[in-house]
Amino acid sequence: MEYMRSSKTVVKKLLKILMNGLNVKEIDESILMGSKRINLNYYPKCPNLELTVGVGRHSDVSTLTVLLQDDIGGLYVRNIDSMKWVNVPPVKGSLVINVGDALQIMSNGKYKSVEHRVITNGNDNRISAPIFVNPRPSDIIGPLAEVVENGEKPMYKHVLYSDYVKHFFRKAHDGKATIDFAKV
Ligand SMILES: O=C(O)CCC(=O)C(=O)O
Ligand SMILES: [Fe+2]
């Protein structure tokens, strides 16, 4: 709980920079970081790699994810242009910051959520602890007013965040398909 609380400083700094890039001057803390969840993921080693999945390809439904991984590795992100999987090796003392779907929607596609997956290791158990920084379940999310006020076409509808999350958990992990739920 202390670790989760302590992430607030870095999350606020990152969101400030990201919002600045969108010309959003006022940080709406409720919608950008009003709720948080931490997962504690344990991936037991599996000598028969074909019998295990790790985590299937998906993007997070968060605004941002602050991901702490141990030194085992296995995380891959997908390059959006080449569609190639890129290994994200653990770097001691570092955090991986992933953009999630909520930020893609609010930025009207300017910031893109990253597709990622985890491949289980044959020799070592792995642990990761992602903090998902989210809107509140009762928030209605959509492209931010400042982003579309210049006449830019909204790519996403306004959706109740809890509906978006429900949609994500109703289906199997399927890459970046979750966001179709909010497409205009
Ligand atoms: O274990 C990891 O490195 C990532 C886990 C993940 O993608 C998730 O929990 O959403
Ligand atoms: Fe994830």
Q: Is 58 a catalytic residue?
A: yes
Q: Is 173 a catalytic residue?
A: no
* pLDDT tens digits, one per residue of 15-64: 999 999 999 998 899 999 999 999 999 999 988 888 888 999 999 999 99
Residue 127 CA to ligand 1 center (angstroms) comes to 9
Pick the residue whose CA is nearest to atom 2 on ligand 1: 128
- Alpha carbon 129 to its chain centroid, in Å, reads 13
Question: d(Cα 20, Cα 35) in Å, to the nearest integer?
Answer: 22
Q: Does position 168 have pLDDT exceeding 90, yes or no?
A: yes
* Cβ-contact 101, 62 below 8 angstroms: yes
Q: What local confidence, expressed as pLDDT, does residue 49 receive?
A: 80
Question: d(Cα 98, Cα 114) in Å, to the nearest integer?
Answer: 6
Any idea which ligand is nearest the CA of 74? 1
Q: Is 167 a catalytic residue?
A: no
> Quick check: ipTM above 0.95?
yes
Q: Is 36 a catalytic residue?
A: yes
CATH number belonging to domain 2-182: 2.60.120.330
Q: Is the CB of 118 under 6 A from ligand 1?
A: yes
Mean pLDDT of the chain: 95
- Burial status of residue 184 (CB atoms within 10 A of its CB: 0-12, 13-18, 19 or more): exposed
- Alpha carbon 111 to its chain centroid, in Å, reads 11
Residue matched to tokens 């509140």? 136
Question: d(Cα 145, Cα 182) in Å, to the nearest integer?
Answer: 16
Nearest CA to 98 among 125, 133, 127? 133
Q: Is the CB of 62 under 6 A from ligand 1?
A: no
* Cβ-contact 182, 157 below 8 angstroms: yes
* Catalytic option among 8, 12, 16, 36: 36
